[in-house]
Amino acid sequence: MNKISTTIKGSGSYIPAQAKPNKDFVNNRFYDAQKERITAPGQDIIDKFEQITGISERRYVTDDQCTSGIAAIAAGLALRDAGIDPETIDQLIVAHNFGDVVRGSVQSDAVPALAARVKHQLGIRNPSCVAYDILFGCPGWLQGVIQAHAFIRAGVAKRCLVVGVEVLSRVLDPHDRDSMIFSDGAGAMVLEAAEGNAGETGILSVAAQTFAINELNYINVGPSNDPEETSGINYVKMQGRRVYEFALKHVPEAMKSCFDATGEDISQLKKIFIHQANEKLDEAIVKAFYKLYGITPSLETVMPMNIHELGNSSVATIPTLFDMVSKGQLPEHQLHPGDLIMFASVGAGMNINAVCYRI
């Protein structure tokens, strides 16, 4: 049976050059959510943080950079990798959560949309290249892929450029331990319609969910933990324990729903590109997913990770990870034609999604 498949034509990523190791936080004054001073020694705090998250350093943009700027860099690299004329892009989708926050400003700027700014920086003149943003928490880039897939399957678009980008260093509370998780980065992918046989290549199945009753504010924005700060500035905030419990309960089930829709045996799944939230959580999710099939996975084989040096860059983690693997930058992980892989993410909303893809 012939059908239109959504295939990956090219990818690109931008990893900021400025590394910030854990030792840079050793002298921070940390407070808990109740604004009580955390009295443990700074070195103990960062040692425990690294043990739980696996993060030893993260990347931050330089003062002259902004979200839309690094998005355009990653997008340009993806277009070059795809080897296509940028004027042939039908949809340009940019996933982010905080817009452009210029260094020294306290205000998010998302008008015009970041996608329009990226289109401008790429010099794409074609007015039929529709540029728009998606705000969907950390799963935003993958939701952009799902949306692009829907347009391609509907015959509305033939080529889509999906970018995930975040500059979280501009919205971090230096007095909140959880802020050490977050980082900056951008990743992009060109998706293209291709004729093929069902299941031969491309996106095979998708799944997405939103939990927005009790879970709504597990990740949100709020004031500094510092009781002496009166600026009124809000920062990204996370209820770490609740996020962990939520993700471990719901993400494996969503992943199973997505994988079962492929009709394939679980032994055929070669790689899982999971949102780089934190090392222990990601390991627990993947183990719980395989447990649903009565299997104990080899995490070193199935789950590539880059969180140790890059941190959690929200919507950018999956596309940057995929780009690194596809370009051979993580040599212990290889992709081959015919491989069945999965993308999966969880984040603010609370949102969950997954996509199964055959190389």
Domains contained in the chain, CATH given: 2-197 (3.40.47.10), 202-358 (3.40.47.10)
* 3-state DSSP helix/strand/coil % of the chain, to nearest 5: 35, 30, 35
Q: How far apart are the first and last CA of the chain?
A: 19
Classify residue 36 by burial, with Cβ atoms within 10 Å: 0-12, 13-18, 19+: exposed
Q: Specify the pLDDT at position 229.
A: 87
Q: Specify the pLDDT at position 211.
A: 97
Report, as an integer, the average pLDDT of 57-86.
97
| β-bridge partners, 166 | 185
Neighbours of 50 (CB within 10 A): 16
Q: Specify the pLDDT at position 2.
A: 53
Above 90 in pLDDT, residue 200?
Answer: no
Above 50 in pLDDT, residue 158?
Answer: yes
The DSSP symbol for 182 reads: B
H or E, element range at 21: strand 18-21
Q: Specify the pLDDT at position 62.
A: 95
Confidence of residue 47 (pLDDT cuts 50, 70, 90): very high
Joined tokens for residue 105: 């400003």
Report, as an integer, the average pLDDT of 326-343.
95
pLDDT tens digits, residue range 227-277? 998 888 899 999 989 999 999 999 999 999 999 999 999 999 999 999 999
Closest CA to 252 of 279, 282, 214: 282
Mean confidence (pLDDT) of the chain: 94
Above 60 in pLDDT, residue 339?
Answer: yes
Above 60 in pLDDT, residue 38?
Answer: yes
Cα 216 to Cα 212: distance, rounded to the nearest angstrom: 4
Above 90 in pLDDT, residue 130?
Answer: yes
Confidence of residue 1 (pLDDT cuts 50, 70, 90): very low
Above 80 in pLDDT, residue 197?
Answer: no
